[in-house]
Amino acid sequence: MDRRVFLKNAGLVTAWVGVSVVLHGCGDDDDPAAPVLGTGDVAGVIGSNHGHNVTISAAVINAGGAVTLILSQGNGHTHSVALSAAQVGEIGQGNQVAATSSSDDGHSHPVTFN
């Protein structure tokens, strides 16, 4: 392959990479940006969401005890979600765990891990 063909093909790859980034950024405006997760961290999926995020860290999972997690502020308020030691253990084993957040601003949210 000569230099001209290589540069032409490289330009096409660059154009597609740019499209990929644009498409990846599209989403529902009601969904908050995904949190940055460390290795072993698990993000919760929050139903009826309007800007909240919640993550259980690998350190908390490995500790194995009960925990109360704070959902990030969304729409001017926060919630918490309490998980028992058994639920934390289930999350650590990759099993799905569902819980309900505290009520704040007149509502609560279903939160599912895994």
Residue 8 falls within a domain, yes or no? no
DSSP 58-98: HHHHHH-S-EEEEPPPBTTB--EEEE-HHHHHHHHTT--EE
Residue 9 falls within a domain, yes or no? no
Smallest CA-to-CA distance from 68 within 53, 52, 79 is with: 79
- Secondary element (H or E) of residue 111: strand 110-113
For 21-63, the pLDDT digits (tens) are 333 333 333 445 566 788 899 999 999 999 999 999 999 999 9
CA angle 73, 32, 72 (to 5 degrees): 20
What pLDDT, on the 0 to 100 scale, is given for residue 10? 53
Residue 48 falls within a domain, yes or no? yes
What is the count of structural domains for the chain? 1
Residue 43 falls within a domain, yes or no? yes
Q: Which range of residues forms the domain containing residue 103?
A: 30-113
For 78-102, the pLDDT digits (tens) are 899 999 999 999 999 999 999 999 9
> Which residue in this structure is represented by tokens 């084993």?
93
What pLDDT, on the 0 to 100 scale, is given for residue 102? 94
Q: How many CA atoms within 13 Å lie on the side-chain side of 35?
A: 19
